[in-house]
Amino acid sequence: MKLYHPLLLLLCVPRFHHNNHIPPFMYQLCLSTRNSKSPCSGVEDMLFYTITEGKDQVPIAQFTSALKRTGLQPSDPRLKDCMEKLRQASQKSVGDIMMDRDLFHRCMAGSIVLLIQAFRKKFIIPEFDIFAKQINEIYYEVEKQTDGKVADYIPQLAKFSPELWGVSLCTVDGQRHSVGDTKQPFCLQSCVKPLQYAIAVHEDGGDMVHRYVGMEPSGVKFNMLSLDDEGDKPHNPMVNAGAIVISSLIKVNTIQGMCECSRVSRSVLFQSEKETGDRNFAIGYYMKEKKCFPPGADMIDALDFYFQLCSIEVNCESGSIMAATLANGGICPITSERVLSAEAVRNTLSLMYSCGMYDFSGEMAFHVGLPAKSGVSGAILLVIPNVMGVMCWSPPLDRVGNSVRGIHFCQELVSHFNFHNYDNLRHFVKKEDPRRQHGDDRNKSVFGLMFAAYSGDVSALRRFALSSMDMDQKDYDARTALHIAAAEGDKDPLTHSHSFIHQCTQTLEARRVKCLAQGHNDSVHLQEAGFESPPIMRRPALPSAPPSPQYKCDYCHHLHC
């Protein structure tokens, strides 16, 4: 059986274009679909005319701006070929660079699925431009915080200005937004601990790793010389002792794969870290005495590697992609490549939630309710599972070693949006959910109300009324629940409440005099409910339109009027 593209339905009625009932660009789209040899050209054309708002060409800068509003960045590796072709086309042009339909086809064919998702608002944050503005508002509000002190026990850290402040986020679909000093490089410090633990579990498995490190919060400072109650392994991988043991199990190559092309490098901080790492050497020797290291592991090599890992240099943008990889179950969102196993991600997020914020971990879990890890460089790696990863960076620290602005940003984020793990409990105060398109909640409530009225579900209607819902909401045809309930009430008396239907009919009777102001279909609604249209509702007949010319369809060879 031959299948036709849905747009062929429009080709069968060309009179619409003759009578100006559809925009000219839609008619052009239909013709291009019919004449194209590519099975995907109709979709590509639909996307092109959506972006250009019906025009035949659009400046490339305007296309790039529209792309950024969806959250996709021109630097996205998934769009590399598209952007390269656009760049080559730009070099051949003089003056304003315009993109027409043919250029769009040539450049975007390889990424058409991704672009359709973006412009149809099918990403995890559909209204990303609105969400980005809200993030900016939180950023500038938090910027007013001036408390805290820059860490000075490592000389290289003390050189950072306390005015530096940046926030980057990356969703599980690769939508990205940055505000502030997000390109300024800084060292991961303790933010590397969840990453190195995840790599160890990915390479060796959780059972193997937890032979040498525990999973309980320590209850003491992160750099204390202490082991668990049995005295044979560190409390968890988020304290220095646990991270040093983990360093004897892993390789660093995976960290680069978690953020692909973004900035990741080693800095001169390594030497400074090593020279001031007396306590870490003490922890290492203490664990060597207690035989905490795996057989064959060299304690000095493990310490050197740990210092190197802490000295890895990133910026907020690359850090947010690392966090988003954890949020996305171990798959890098901008490359779609699996970097970490699902087990590694689950274990890592659990430990970040319970142990990731030094002595503030309990309060962080209580107030923010999300996995996070902080470092003395002023960074906070925040993970919102299945949604996004966030990297905040501001050097001034509080008394326990967490970024003052970073903590405040996390708290403000969950106060605005329902990202806290327990914000979605029943009967809880509702916050804004950026994962829903604007109007989704209202559409669902109207549908539920109308269906309850149609089916005679009086209990559901009472629940809607008790929840302070507007019972006079209208559907697409300007009908209220009363219209529908009265119209359907006589079909199956066994499934409807007669008292409720009686109330509906009485209310409709009382409202008859108001029908004129309520819409053109109210006369029909009253007739459906068993009333005659009052004289005031009757309108004079409109003069009949002249007959439309007839066209012969190119496909079915029938005449259409």
DSSP 4-61: --TTHHHHT-THHHHTT-S-HHHHHHHHHHHH---TTHHHHHHHHHHHHTT-SEEEHH
Residue for token pair 């171990």: 330
Same-domain pairing of 320 and 223: yes
The answer to whether residue 551 is domain-embedded is: no
| pTM score, whole prediction | 0.74
Q: Give me the residues paired with residue 331 across strands.
A: 338
What are the CB-based long-range contacts (under 8 Å, 24+) for 418-424? 419/369, 419/370, 419/384, 419/387, 420/368, 420/369, 420/370, 421/369, 421/370, 422/369, 423/369
Would the CA dihedral through 104, 108, 112, 118 be positive or negative?
A: negative
> How far from the centroid of its chain's Cα atoms is residue 450's Cα?
31
461-497 burial, b for 16+ CB within 10 Å, e for fewer?
beebeeeebeeeeeeeeebbbbbbbbbbbeeeeeebb
Residues 360, 389 within the same domain = yes
Asked if 444 and 368 sit in the same domain, the reply is no
Query: What is the Cα–Cα distance from 550 to 178, expressed in whole angstroms?
Result: 57
- Number of domains, the chain: 3
Give the per-residue pLDDT at 517: 44
d(CA 185, CA 187): 7
Buried b (16+ CB within 10 A) or exposed e, 522-542: bbbbbeebebebeeebeeeee
The partner residues of 560 in beta bridges, in order of sequence, read 551
Residue 4 covered by a domain: no
Residues whose CB falls within 8 Å of the CB of residue 288, separated by 6 or more in sequence, listed in order? 299
Structural domain for 191, as ranges = 131-416
Q: Where are the alpha helices (DSSP H) in 205-291?
A: 206-209, 240-247, 253-257, 269-275, 278-289
Report yes or no on 151 lying in a domain.
yes
Q: Is residue 23 part of a domain?
A: no
Query: By the 8 A CB rule, do 473 and 458 touch?
Result: no
Map 455-484 to HEC letters.
HCCHHHHHHHHHCCCCCCCCCCCCCCHHHH
- The span from the CA of 105 to the CA of 45, in Å, is 8
Nearest to 192 by CA among 264, 130, 290: 264
Q: Are residues 104 and 143 in the same domain?
A: no
The pLDDT value recorded for residue 267 is 56
* 54 and 95 together in one domain: yes
Give 106's contacts (C-beta < 8 A, 6+ positions apart). Answer: 85
CB 436 within 8 A of CB 424: no
Residues 94 and 68 grouped into a single domain: yes
Q: Are residues 77 and 98 in the same domain?
A: yes
Last residue of a domain, which of 86, 119, 152? 119
Residue 391 and residue 483 in one domain = no
Rg (CA), the chain: 31
Q: Give CA torsion, residues 233, 239, 245, 250, to 10 deg.
A: 140
Query: pLDDT digits over 105-163, tens only?
Result: 888 888 888 999 998 889 999 999 999 999 999 999 999 999 999 998 888 888 999 99
**In terms of domains, do 319 and 346 share one?**
yes
- Tens-digit pLDDT profile for residues 332-379: 999 999 999 999 999 999 999 999 999 999 999 999 999 999 999 999
What CATH number corresponds to the domain at position 515?
1.25.40.20
Cα distances (Å, whole numbers) of residue 329 to 14, 183, 381, 500, 506: 50, 26, 16, 50, 57
pLDDT reported for residue 53: 79
pLDDT averaged per 10 residues, the chain (length 561): 34 35 43 44 79 84 90 93 86 75 86 90 94 97 95 87 97 97 94 95 94 91 85 92 93 61 60 81 93 92 92 94 96 94 96 94 96 96 98 96 97 95 78 78 72 78 69 77 70 47 54 48 54 46 50 46 39
Same domain, 152 and 71: no
Q: Which of 401, 416, 431 is the last residue of a domain?
A: 416
Count of C-beta atoms within a 10 Å radius of residue 450: 21
**Amino acid (one-letter) located at 538:** R
Kindly state whether residue 538 falls inside one of the protein's structural domains: no
SS (H, E, C) 495-513: HCCHHHHHHHHHHHHHCHH
pLDDT value, residue 168: 98
Do 252 and 105 lie in a common domain?
no
Q: Are residues 353 and 382 in the same domain?
A: yes
* Helix (H/G/I), strand (E/B), else coil: 177: strand
